[in-house]
Chains A and B, each alone.
Chain A
């Protein structure tokens, strides 16, 4: 495997051009429902791009269109600036890792890895070298003679990754490759895949519906819902600056307050929520006064007993329920008529103020409270 770094790849001949481009792609299986609606997405060279979204949002469909197993109903997909709608899957040179691994059960691990090399009529010494290198990359040296059935789930997963990379593709697609693993192993594999990606500089398009997986691994995340990309951004942006109510709700935990825009003042606005309280918030995508909007606020950005003047918004809250989670305590509160309001309280020495049924002032910064059109 040529160990090109991400930077090198980007600066190669077709510098700056995205490796993959979806242009106005639509897909329907039955001629009635559009599963993918007008997808426009560029995947940069060397990038680790994750498609994240709830079940049925069309992630796998996009991947299958890119791999060539499903035709696009409309629009064009470009790979390396070449339209590939009419290119057969085996001529696309795309590596793939499937959720169930799809390791050939009648072949040993080494034979599995040899398959793409045999197809490319590589001679057997080169083949062996490549296979050994790929196996050691996933820390499975000496497992070549085993059958897939003789491997644990995590080992099978590594073989699948090695097999998708052994023929040195520019692009690797992974469809929920860690879905079948338990939590610890999944976290370890996330790290390893990420590491391999950085080491090889290969472009990865990764599908998952586990948001923490997406946040830890990706350069950029495309949040899918209902066949539409809701937001395409680096993980931190996605978390800190969700652009619409769906993304805010889908990524991380989120408190929502419904209200009407009273006044817009540059970057900030004031919103009157359900029970009449007026709250100052950051303008994200609201346009005008009188508009219905959703205020979105992360639970960890809410302070209990804030100092007056320290935060713009202070309201009275009534504690409904406390859930002890070790490092922090989740408090469910009644705030501005919403009794699903969650506050994360660090488990510090002074938490006596919190008791079920007690009323306490809470507050937050206007900058942390995002006003989204609903």
Chain B
């Protein structure tokens, strides 16, 4: 392209003008437009796939974590009426609200649609106040025959649990379909009688502990992977191709074995009557009655996950180390640096992009890992994703699962942000 060369010399800061007077930038943009459109078209299938399978479900999850319309669906009039109750001035709502409650309950008796029955309301309230699940079914039965008021007495006399301002405050809160209650629950908090968010009773707190455990175990697993992978990757990078290929295959073997086969192998090796314990007993290292438990607990989770995630550490490290010619270390040594000093000053800093990429990869994979801890983790080896899975598959509390999932996502994003701030994503090198 004919760029007016004199512009360069006369005023370097002015935009370059092509011969026909169009700014060079514009002209370049015009000529590369087709290329850019082509490039975009190439990404369209993947983009569509990601939107459908990734962005859309995550959006849905975010919505579900703050939106639960069960009560509003089943008891619509009551849900609207109770909003006008000011719980700070009276212990119970007024008669009109109770009337709406009774008529809505009677109407809801006829509904058979899954997710919109009285039982669903019971489940929803039970999330907030454990032990109230059956209350609504029996109330529904008893209220079927009530034809006239005063409804307030009738309802409050149904069961002594109805006679509790906290239940009605909770009902008001869950009637609102947009709610923060699932985040409150996910952080081991609850509402007290005054509507304040307070910590749950000690024995009911689980999620925060498991969040911490997940972070800590992931960090530990990442650390172990790094320590194990670094020397092996170094060896791989300096060995002649033939030998290093063989070694690489051995490192990648976990990739190629089915998860169940691997897990069964771990069970056979690690259980109390497993190979390791038997050998230790046979060699008199430990007594027959003091076999350590190495599986169905944290130890099992750590061992199995390190095994599975190790390749994700080796590959980025290896690919970075492969590009570092041996002449750097040689130069350092010829100038008088001992091996250890040269390694620390010259080799190690050059491998940091690989270390950064490997640790990020392994940590993020570990923090969301589900299947291995579920199989070999026992009770204290469970991670947060196991609880999310539990709420999706067993308890049916999808909103809580979504809230936990969102928190996990936020934690990962924050960590990623910190990582980017201190290491810089541009410095990562995955392979």
Task: Knowing A104-B346, A106-B349, say if A163 contacts B328 (CB, 8 Å).
Answer: no
Which of B336, B338, B349 is the one whose CB lies under 8 Å from A116?
Answer: B336
Task: Knowing A104-B346, A105-B350, A115-B345, say if A90 contacts B327 (CB, 8 Å).
Answer: no
Instruction: Give 14 A-B contacts (CB < 8 Å), ordered by A residue.
Output: A89-B334, A90-B342, A93-B336, A94-B334, A95-B334, A102-B325, A102-B327, A102-B328, A104-B350, A115-B332, A115-B335, A115-B345, A119-B335, A119-B337
B331 touching A96, Cβ below 8 Å:
yes
Q: Mark contacts of B100-114 with chain A using CB atoms, 8 A cut-off: 1 yes-contact digit, 0 otherwise.
A: 000000000000000
Q: Within 8 Å of chain B (Cβ to Cβ): is A145?
A: no
Q: Mark contacts of B344-363 with chain A using CB atoms, 8 A cut-off: 1 yes-contact digit, 0 otherwise.
A: 01100110000000000000
The 8 closest A-B pairs by CB, nearest first: A116-B335, A102-B327, A102-B331, A96-B334, A119-B336, A89-B333, A98-B327, A90-B333
In the complex, chain B residues 300-352 whose Cβ is within 8 Å of any chain A Cβ: 325, 327-328, 330-339, 341-342, 345-346, 349-350
Which of A92, A95, A106 is the one whose CB lies under 8 Å from B350?
Answer: A106
CA gap between A106 and B335 in the complex, in Å: 17
CA gap between A130 and B345 in the complex, in Å: 21
| Nearest A residue (CB) for B326 | A69
Task: Knowing A94-B334, A167-B336, say if A119 contacts B341 (CB, 8 Å).
Answer: yes
CA gap between A98 and B333 in the complex, in Å: 13
Residues of B within 8 A of A98 (CB): 327, 330-331
Q: Within 8 Å of chain B (Cβ to Cβ): is A73?
A: no
Report which A residues bind B (CB closer than 8 A): 67-69, 88-96, 98-100, 102, 104-106, 115-116, 119-120, 163-164, 167, 173
Residues of B within 8 A of A92 (CB): 334
Residues of A within 8 A of B346 (CB): 104
CA gap between A90 and B333 in the complex, in Å: 5
Task: Knowing A98-B327, A104-B328, A115-B345, say if A67 contacts B350 (CB, 8 Å).
Answer: no
B338 touching A90, Cβ below 8 Å:
yes
CA gap between A105 and B345 in the complex, in Å: 12
Known: A90-B334, A96-B334, A104-B328. 9 other contacts (CB 8 A): A67-B334, A69-B330, A69-B333, A90-B339, A104-B350, A105-B350, A115-B337, A116-B337, A119-B341
Task: Knowing A67-B330, A98-B330, A115-B345, say if A163 contacts B325 (CB, 8 Å).
Answer: no
Which of B327, B332, B333, B336 is the one whose CB lies under 8 Å from A120?
Answer: B336
Residues of A within 8 A of B330 (CB): 67, 69, 89, 96, 98, 102
**What is the count of residue pairs linking A and B with beta-carbon distances less than 8 angstroms?**
67
CA gap between A314 and B333 in the complex, in Å: 60
B325 touching A100, Cβ below 8 Å:
yes
In the complex, chain B residues 13-32 whose Cβ is within 8 Å of any chain A Cβ: none
A97 nearest CB across to chain B (Å) = 9
In the complex, chain B residues 112-136 whose Cβ is within 8 Å of any chain A Cβ: none
Residues of A within 8 A of B328 (CB): 102, 104
CA gap between A51 and B325 in the complex, in Å: 23
CA gap between A19 and B382 in the complex, in Å: 68
CA gap between A120 and B337 in the complex, in Å: 9
A222 nearest CB across to chain B (Å) = 21
Residues of A within 8 A of B341 (CB): 119
CA gap between A93 and B334 in the complex, in Å: 7
CA gap between A236 and B350 in the complex, in Å: 46
| Nearest A residue (CB) for B331 | A102
| Nearest B residue (CB) for A96 | B334
- Give the interface centre of B327, B334, B346, B349 by most chain A CB atoms within 10 Å: B334
| Nearest B residue (CB) for A89 | B333
CA gap between A68 and B337 in the complex, in Å: 13
| Nearest A residue (CB) for B337 | A119
A49 nearest CB across to chain B (Å) = 18
Which of B336, B349, B350 is the one whose CB lies under 8 Å from A90?
Answer: B336
B354 nearest CB across to chain A (Å) = 13
CA gap between A99 and B346 in the complex, in Å: 18
CA gap between A98 and B327 in the complex, in Å: 7
Residues of A within 8 A of B337 (CB): 90, 115-116, 119
In the complex, chain B residues 156-213 whose Cβ is within 8 Å of any chain A Cβ: none
A309 nearest CB across to chain B (Å) = 60
CA gap between A93 and B327 in the complex, in Å: 17
Q: Mark contacts of B39-53 with chain A using CB atoms, 8 A cut-off: 1 yes-contact digit, 0 otherwise.
A: 000000000000000
